[in-house]
């Protein structure tokens, strides 16, 4: 790759102010950007784009989400086609899965039904790497459209605070052009190469390390409890020594993750990483074990299906 990716793309909100003249900044901030998927993650991201000065043209399939978004200051489009028609050059998709992205982008009344010219679609949903590559191929073959991927980490709290970590991939020039949008919703941007699926692979890597670490911290605390060691002091020890981790530093909130929300989402990613490991003959025994032990380690019961 031509540039050292992490150095080229990692930064914070301040980089936009440092690297643009007032005239350039005003031009960037006057843009209309489309945003599809105004749920738990999408709505606060759209709000942060609005706060950064972009005019956000939003849409969600659910009326309740559209009502909330309108109350939060987002301009609501009449349809997906209308989103693409109003957006100047970019639409973000933050819907649930591959099927929803297909419908949003390539459906009969989807974004491409507006026949946009030169549109960039940023898929910020979590898909598996190969599926994201397939989506990119289908979308770019369907018209004068570019697709890049930008998976996120940080959860609803990070979305609200505008501190998401963004794992971007796709054509380097297109990703670089999207940087002002990423800066509005996140505090760190990482670039992983030209294939859209690389973004998703990076997120699976991050989450498999998260899952393994959660199991390790929980197991250590359980062992300590047998000897009546104060949990708070063990966590203080972790933070000050070689047992340190994001999980240890945020254990108060991590330990409250519920079986039907955050833990379920994490387990989905652990399973996806496990399946990709099997498919590509990559041994990942710790990921496999953490998948089966996650709910037990966290003292939660998985919801019956």
Among all residues, which ones are annotated catalytic?
A: 203
Other Cβ atoms within 10 Å of 164 Cβ, number: 27
Please give the order of strands across the beta sheet that includes 145-153: 75-76, 55-59, 32-36, 90-93, 119-123, 145-153, 164-169, 186-191
Q: Per the structure block, which two tokens stand in for 298?
A: 């966290």
Exposure string of 104-128, with b = 16+ CB inside 10 Å and e = fewer, is bbbeeebbbbbebeebbbbbbbbbb
Q: Which residue has the tokens 């399939």?
A: 61
Q: Per the structure block, which two tokens stand in for 13?
A: 């909100």
What DSSP string describes 64-107?
HHHHHHHHTTPEEPSSHHHHHHH-SSEEEE--SSHHHHHHHHHS
Grouping H, G, I as helix, E, B as strand and the rest as coil, residue 222 is helix
Strands (E) located in 114-216: 119-123, 145-153, 164-169, 186-191
Phi and psi at 190, nearest 5°, equal: -125, 140
Q: Per the structure block, which two tokens stand in for 292?
A: 């089966």
């Amino acid at each position: 790759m031509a540039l050292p990716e992490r150095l080229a793309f990692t930064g914070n909100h301040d980089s936009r102010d440092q690297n643009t003249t007032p005239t350039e900044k005003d031009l960037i901030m006057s843009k209309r950007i489309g945003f599809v998927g105004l749920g738990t993650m999408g709505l606060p991201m759209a709000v942060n784009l609005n706060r950064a000065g972009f005019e956000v043209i939003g849409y969600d399939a659910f009326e309740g989400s559209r009502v909330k978004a309108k109350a939060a200051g987002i301009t609501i489009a009449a349809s997906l086609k209308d989103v693409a028609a109003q957006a100047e050059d970019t639409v973000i998709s933050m819907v649930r899965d591959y099927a929803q992205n297909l419908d949003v982008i390539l459906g009969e009344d989807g974004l491409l039904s507006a026949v946009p010219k030169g549109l960039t679609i940023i898929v910020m949903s979590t898909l598996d790497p190969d599926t994201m590559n397939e989506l990119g191929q289908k979308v770019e073959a369907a018209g004068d459209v570019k697709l890049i991927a930008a998976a996120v980490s940080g959860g609803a709290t990070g979305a609200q605070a505008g501190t998401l970590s963004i794992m971007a991939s796709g054509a380097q020039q297109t990703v670089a052009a999207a940087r002002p949008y990423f800066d509005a919703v996140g505090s760190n941007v990482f670039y992983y190469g030209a294939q859209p699926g690389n973004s998703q692979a990076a997120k699976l890597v991050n989450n498999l390390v998260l899952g393994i670490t959660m199991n390790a911290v929980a197991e250590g605390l359980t062992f300590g409890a047998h000897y009546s060691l104060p949990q708070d002091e063990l966590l203080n020890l972790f933070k000050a020594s070689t047992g340190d981790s994001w999980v240890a530093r945020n254990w108060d909130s991590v330990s409250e993750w519920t079986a039907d929300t955050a833990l379920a989402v994490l387990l989905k990613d652990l399973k996806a990483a496990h399946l990709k490991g099997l498919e590509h003959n990559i041994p990942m025994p710790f990921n496999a074990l953490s998948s089966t032990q996650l709910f037990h380690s966290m003292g939660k019961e998985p919801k019956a299906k």
